[in-house]
Structure 1
Amino acid sequence: MITGELKNKIDSLWDIFAAGGLVNPLDVIEQITYLMFIHDLDDSDNLRAKEAAMLGLPYTSIFTDEVQVGERTIDGQQLKWSVFHDFPAGKMYSVMQEWVFPFIKNLHGDKNSAYSKYMDDAIFKLPTPLLLSKVVDALDEIYRLMSESQAVDVRGDTYEYLLSKISQSGRNGQFRTPRHIIRMMVELMDPKADDMICDPACGTSGFLVSAGEYLKENRKEEIFFNRQKKDHYMNHMFFGYDMDRTMLRIGAMNMMTHGIDNPFIEYRDSLSDQNPDKEKYSLILANPPFKGSLDADTVSADLLKVCKTKKTELLFLALFLRMLRIGGRCACIVPDGVLFGSSTAHKAIRKELVDGNRLEAVISMPSGVFKPYAGVSTAVLIFTKTGHGGTDHVWFYDMTADGFSLDDKRSPVADNDIPDIIARFRKPGAEKDRQRTEKSFLVPRAEIVDNGYDLSINKYKKTEYKPVEYPPTSEIMAQLRELEVEIGAEMSKLEELLRM
């Protein structure tokens, strides 16, 4: 979470844009993203040059001595943030507008890449040199504070805080998944070097970025010392779809900034017929939007065969099953209503998960996880597509704490079930003997079927009642009499004081 001076600096950056005449929240976050991307390009280019030098490998900087921008050939060093941020406001503005921005728009020669698709119509909207100068100075200060921070993922938290300022976020919920919940889901799924990973409602690509970071941390040698696996990681592993071009643009830049050269990020209504993907992916990570109902005429017919409904949360589950290849896995967030809803469609999708595939886990999360943006209770579903059943037991976990307070402030606290969730999930053998009064336990498939495929944890969790012994009534009455005498004596003293 962002607090203190860093939070104040980000708030003041937002105020600088407002004072400069840029007030549309989406425009502001888009321009900030461009500038952060330009700053990070400089840092990542320096880092890759150092890594290449350490490994004795050749490396050509994107800021070579001469860079072609349109019909002009210019000194590439002037495009580096560390160089142009010291220019006078007027010169900085012209360099940014005439050189830097066209340079990043054409950074990828491949016009079919995700980055190129969504940068083609990007516009530099800062209206004056003075505003640009103030914004650059403010971002320099924010980056300084981030570098001094001890937080593990301060850049991610900063970006999340920036995104939280977009008023539309409360309405469509497309990028409100807390980063620590994303990370938990990625660790539970433990992505492999040969996975094909998809988020059909990707927003700013948070799940894809986190999966990429996890692979870097845990499978670095396997991926980066193997030419084919590195090419797969850079160009063929990550797929994301969304219906908001601004989010796609931010998502594509987010992926590139995190070292993934060519993710497949595309404009697509995943629930419609324009999504042809069937049995393609080995891993799906998602928190799809739960925007209620939609027009059934726009929904792909094969999804309606699984569950005839207009509710997006149910249709997305059907979609995940269709998009996964046999043996493919999924971790997704669903609202609690999916677990116990009594409609025919609710029961149909739960039956398909339990009987037609292998439902592995239901992790119930407290309602405060998505505050201050929403107070809805949610759960994480984990399942494997088999196409012919395979559910023997379902693992339930009752998460009551996630490391942050469950009020609107979401302040860090000591209580955190996430490490325990990951540890228990990875050792399923140890769960067999757990009682249903504990945090986690197994429920056999037959019992779930008997309960109408109800997946709410309260249906199976047992409450342990501990007897409380009270003293005899006579003893309580005697204590009350003693208190009465004490109160009378104190009242008498008070009356004497008032007479003086």
Structure 2
Amino acid sequence: MALNIKSLQDIMRQDPGVDGDAQRMNQIIWILFLKIYDIYEKRWKTASLLQGEIYESIIPKDLAWDSWAKSKNEQGQAIKEALSGDELLDFINNTLFPTLKNLTITKDSPLNQKIVKKAFEDTNNYMKKGILLRQVINTIDDIEIQSKEDKKELSFIYESFLKTLQSAGNAGEFYTPRAVTDFVIQMLEPKIGDKIADLACGTGGFLTSAYHYLESQIKTAQDIQKANSYFYGIEKKQLPFILAVTGFLINGIENPNLDHSNTLEIPFDALSDLETFDIIAMNPPYGGAETKEIQSNFPSEFRSSETADLFMAVICERLAQGGKAAVVLPDGFLFGNDTAKINLKKKLLDELNLHLILRLPKSVFAPYTSITTNILFFTKPDLTQARGTKQTWFYRLDMPEGIKSFGKTKSMKLEHFDPFIKWNTNRVELSDESGNFKAKSYSKQELESRDYNFDLCGFVSEEEEILEPFALMEQVRNERERLNHTLDSIMDKIAQIIKDNA
């Protein structure tokens, strides 16, 4: 079994209907999803027969993969009736897609059937040349998953496919490097039976890492069921949603509980009635803005034009008592002093336990963005625990020795977290050669006295670097916001001194 993504992209570059890597990935993924889903359906059908049951597919028989996609029989001979050219295009555009978009599902439909309709709700066929489309379908149809080695190989190829998102324009926002997702899950240490969520799951990296982390704990059929269905992901954009669904199937998650919608559309007052989660691991979108209508779902103290702030408000509500969370956020959240950020940081200190902020090297998400990010680790106390934060540790993870920056050809690896892992077994204050803190603990009172400015143990000296225009603009914007906060803080102190001495 082999899947050459580059050869598929080369075929699609000849088609006038497909423009850019994002559309090429979109085109590949809906075909790949149907192929992988067909492989699983054959397994589900066999398993049902062994149990004396009849498996009923949600996909009509005349739209099943073998009915239209296969062009060769088991002997490798060409099937004369195989659709191609304009006939294939007409079938896909006017029969296959309309049917899949309008499949009937109910709240009682199995998860592995709901995902079919959700995957195709906003999916489109971009190719305009049926002959080229037939070539793409034939290449994907050659995939087989007969062994663990096949599954491992396909998973590796698919992960490489996802990594191209980082350099595919704005699509990079949907992919979190696997080193980060694996590290976060190792820190959170989920157990079989934990309800694990990512409320803006993108391509599903955190949930996939969690599943693989739990695999060693699976002992019974009930464990398998929990490991499959105790995940919850929600993603509003079509491309990352279908990428997540397909990735879950490839990695062995047969019943992914995924919603194709927007977490932020739920009124904040209604969150208390919804399911809570034992583990929340997220890299929420930041730098963007939601509509005024979405913002109005939130109380004034959390209302913000920054998407990441709104997600933080939701995360705090939907984390279960005794639950653990890890959230990737940009520097702007740490030093920001607008109403929403101040109130969110106050909530983290007063009601939750913000025990660790890990500051990541700025190029972790390159080439998509060079914005410096951080991972906030916090818990929500249960009824037996005291509310609030006593102390918060800050740790700055420097670039590995010999590496100037991460990027398209040199991505972050799990072993690059080793210095932190070693430090985390015996947390002590650390300083660099310049005397600046690399690791330090701050009490709740110290953080409050800083007007909730959490910009501590950061990167204070960097080599000059030539950035891409948009990355430079973002850097200037962040630096301006940081300076504005500092000036505001100084002016407030001056005003207070004048008031005290009046």
Using the size of structure 2 for normalisation, the TM-score is 0.70
Q: Secondary structure at the match of 1:290?
A: coil
Unaligned runs of 5+ in 1: 1-5, 464-500
Alignment of 1:42-57 (within 5 A): none
- Residue identity matched to 2:132: L
1:325 matched to which residue of 2? Answer: 320
RMSD: 4.6
1:347 matched to which residue of 2? Answer: 342
Among candidates 386, 399, 402, match of residue 401 of structure 1: 399
Shift of residue 283, structure 1, vs aligned partner: 1.2
Shift of residue 329, structure 1, vs aligned partner: 1.4
After the TM superposition, which of the residue ranges 269-278 and 279-288 deviates more from structure 2? 269-278
State the alpha-carbon separation in 2 of the partners of residues 291 and 371 from structure 1: 15
Using the size of structure 1 for normalisation, the TM-score is 0.71
1:161 matched to which residue of 2? Answer: 163
- Residue identity matched to 2:231: F
Instruction: Determine whether 1:256 maps to 2:257.
Output: no
Residue 241 of structure 1 contacts residue 268 of structure 1 at CA under 8 Å; is this kept in 2? yes
Instruction: Determine whether 1:371 maps to 2:369.
Output: no
Shift of residue 108, structure 1, vs aligned partner: 9.3
State the alpha-carbon separation in 2 of the partners of residues 342 and 356 from structure 1: 19
> What are the Cα deviations for residues 277-322 of structure 1, in whole angstroms up to 9, with x where unaligned?
4361111111111134434442254x43543432222221111001
Q: Secondary structure at the match of 2:194?
A: coil
Distance 1:412 1:239, change over 3 A: closer
Residue 273 of structure 1 contacts residue 300 of structure 1 at CA under 8 Å; is this kept in 2? no
> What are the Cα deviations for residues 246-290 of structure 1, in whole angstroms up to 9, with x where unaligned?
432332232233222332322332223357443611111111111
1:135 matched to which residue of 2? Answer: 136
Residue 118 of structure 2 contacts residue 260 of structure 2 at CA under 8 Å; is this kept in 1? no
State the alpha-carbon separation in 1 of the partners of residues 77 and 329 from structure 2: 50
Distance 1:378 1:77, change over 3 A: same
1:206 matched to which residue of 2? Answer: 205
State the alpha-carbon separation in 2 of the partners of residues 360 and 375 from structure 1: 26
Residue 355 of structure 2 contacts residue 389 of structure 2 at CA under 8 Å; is this kept in 1? yes
Shift of residue 127, structure 1, vs aligned partner: 4.6
Residue 401 of structure 1 contacts residue 415 of structure 1 at CA under 8 Å; is this kept in 2? no
**Matched positions, count:** 434
Shift of residue 62, structure 1, vs aligned partner: 12
Distance 1:195 1:161, change over 3 A: same
2:443 matched to which residue of 1? Answer: 444
> What are the Cα deviations for residues 56-97 of structure 1, in whole angstroms up to 9, with x where unaligned?
x98689999x99974669997997899579454864446988
- Residue identity matched to 1:197: I
Q: Secondary structure at the match of 2:264?
A: coil
2:491 matched to which residue of 1? Answer: none
- Residue identity matched to 1:20: D
Q: Secondary structure at the match of 1:372?
A: coil
Q: Secondary structure at the match of 1:421?
A: helix
State the alpha-carbon separation in 2 of the partners of residues 300 and 386 from structure 1: 29
Distance 1:72 1:19, change over 3 A: closer
State the alpha-carbon separation in 1 of the partners of residues 75 and 58 from structure 2: 21
Instruction: Determine whether 1:298 maps to 2:294.
Output: yes
State the alpha-carbon separation in 2 of the partners of residues 89 and 406 from structure 1: 52
Q: Secondary structure at the match of 2:265?
A: coil
- Residue identity matched to 1:131: L
After the TM superposition, which of the residue ranges 304-313 and 345-354 deviates more from structure 2? 304-313
1:181 matched to which residue of 2? Answer: 180
Shift of residue 231, structure 1, vs aligned partner: 2.8
Among candidates 213, 236, 240, match of residue 247 of structure 1: 240
- Residue identity matched to 1:14: Q
State the alpha-carbon separation in 1 of the partners of residues 39 and 318 from structure 2: 37
Shift of residue 232, structure 1, vs aligned partner: 2.9
2:189 matched to which residue of 1? Answer: 190
2:29 matched to which residue of 1? Answer: 33
Distance 1:272 1:79, change over 3 A: closer
